[in-house]
Copies of this chain bind each other. A is one copy, B any other.
Amino acid sequence: MKDFKTTIGLAALLATAALPALAQDAPAAPEAAAAVAVPTDVAFIFNTLLFLIGGFLVFWMAAGFAMLEAGLVRSKNVAMQCLKNISLFSLACTMYYLVGYNLMYPLGNWSIGSDETGGYLGAFGVAILEAVGVTSDAVDDYSYASTGSDFFFQVMFCATTASIVSGALAERIRLWPFLIFTAILTALIYPIQASWKWGGGFLDAAGFMDFAGSTVVHSVGGWAALAGAIILGPRLGKYAQGRVVAFPGSNLTLATLGTFILWLGWFGFNGASQLAMGTISDVADVSRAFANTNAAAAGGALAALAMTQIMYKKVDLTMVLNGALAGLVSITAEPLYPTLGGAILIGAVGGILVVLTVPLLDRVKIDDVVGAIPVHLVCGIWGTLAVVFSNPDATLGAQLMGIVIVGIFVFVVSAIVWLILRATTGLRATAEEETLGFDKAELGLEAYPEFTKL
């Protein structure tokens, strides 16, 4: 307990120390000369290429979530976890095509609200790409990038949000209700709230800042997971006789691999969220995002390393992995303005928060199998708040407004959906099935048929 207080003190100290270091590295150029040197067609190609590279990197995060979660569940639920991950990704891509994309980017065609005052509900309709062989006079936006590349990039963000949920609810939610929730999340919940910021809606108009989605993506996944975890209840035996029973992950190399995959994918997640690299200014900013993203992940991992050593006298690998992810989530709202040192500290605070929050969740008996809520929700909030330390245009009020409104919307709507599903299809496997494990009970196979001794 004394250690606990020491570490909280340490965390506060670190956070305070970080503040002055968060300003950007050097004064900005006074007045930018017009960058006439890059032909518009070339800039269009560069921007499109940025989305394609960023998109395939964010795609790769789907594999990262799958491996992280498959490594952190018990072997009797591993195949189901793999199945949920590839299925949710496929479903997210389909729903985002059918509804999500135009809901999120109404381009002025708001169903409720307008571009002038900020919109609340986007447009309905399937995503439509530019024609094959489109030329400069026919592209949707000559000053931007190909619509195909934009869709490809954005669909990956939608899928990422859904991936966050699957880990928290693992080992007890049945496949089909989970997939129904995923469909609603990716068709409606994610795109609608994302439109408020990235579609030019009312949160954007209010000055809310979220560069790559600490709030818009990560906290959304976290809120949906939190609502689900509460309504679903903990795994059988997790909080037996008032104690927290550890259910060790079955394969920590997979969890490590998943973390490295996510780290890699995050370069695309944050870097390509600059949305352009057709000027020196843009590509240099993309570079800052890459370097800072990496620095924050390193800071998060090191902070969790130190914290677990101090608090428990033993380093905890899964905490270090989650620490790296916490650093990544924390820098996501603002990967441009912090210095490298600031990014390390922002990430380190994220890592500390995860180490402190994981036991708190257990204390209130919210069972989050992989630590998704500490990583994506808590650090999503922290990262969104941290924008005010480095970005001169951010205000604490607008940041809080975004966090709270998105949080209430997503938590309430998610809770309603989860409750409806519980009342209709049901959410949980039977106790017998859960004890046997999903792989045998629902799928009729085993992930490691020749290995497990249990």
Query: A: which residues have CB within 8 A of B?
Result: 24-29, 32-33, 35, 37-42, 44-46, 48-49, 51-53, 55-57, 59-60, 62-63, 66-67, 70-71, 74-75, 78-79, 82-83, 85-87, 89-91, 93-94, 97, 126-139, 146-149, 151-152, 155, 175, 248-254, 256-257, 259-261, 263-264, 267, 271, 277-281, 283-288, 290-291, 294-295, 297-299, 301-302, 305, 314-318, 320-321, 324, 336-337, 339-341, 344, 442-454
Q: Please name all residues of chain B whose beta carbon is closer than 8 Å to the beta carbon of A321 when the two chains form the complex.
A: 86
- Contact across chains for B126 and A341 when beta carbons are under 8 A apart: yes
A294 and B152 in contact (CB under 8 A), knowing A24-B131, A83-B317, A280-B44? yes
Q: Please name all residues of chain B whose beta carbon is closer than 8 Å to the beta carbon of A257 when the two chains form the complex.
A: 63, 66-67, 257
Besides the contacts A28-B134, A71-B253, A249-B449, what 18 more A-B pairs have beta carbons closer than 8 Å?
A: A24-B131, A25-B131, A27-B131, A33-B137, A35-B135, A37-B42, A37-B136, A39-B42, A45-B280, A46-B49, A53-B53, A82-B317, A86-B260, A87-B320, A94-B298, A132-B336, A148-B287, A152-B291
- Contact across chains for A287 and B52 when beta carbons are under 8 A apart: yes
Shortest C-beta distance, A454 to chain B (Å), equals 5
- Contact across chains for A297 and B248 when beta carbons are under 8 A apart: no
Contact for A86 among B40, B284, B320, CB less than 8 A: B320
Report, nearest first, the 8 A-B pairs whose CB atoms are least far apart.
Answer: A148-B287, A63-B260, A37-B41, A90-B298, A29-B138, A149-B287, A146-B284, A82-B256
- Contact across chains for B29 and A134 when beta carbons are under 8 A apart: yes
How many of these chains are in the complex? Answer: 3
- Contact across chains for A39 and B40 when beta carbons are under 8 A apart: no
- Contact across chains for A45 and B53 when beta carbons are under 8 A apart: no
Q: Please name all residues of chain B whose beta carbon is closer than 8 Å to the beta carbon of A249 when the two chains form the complex.
A: 449
A24 to B259, CA, bound (A): 39
Shortest C-beta distance, A51 to chain B (Å), equals 7
A298 to B301, CA, bound (A): 33
- Contact across chains for A148 and B450 when beta carbons are under 8 A apart: no
- Contact across chains for B86 and A301 when beta carbons are under 8 A apart: yes
Shortest C-beta distance, A339 to chain B (Å), equals 7
Shortest C-beta distance, A208 to chain B (Å), equals 19
Q: Please name all residues of chain B whose beta carbon is closer than 8 Å to the beta carbon of A97 when the two chains form the complex.
A: 295, 340-341, 344
A261 to B260, CA, bound (A): 11
A421 to B87, CA, bound (A): 42
- Contact across chains for B148 and A447 when beta carbons are under 8 A apart: no
A72 to B282, CA, bound (A): 43
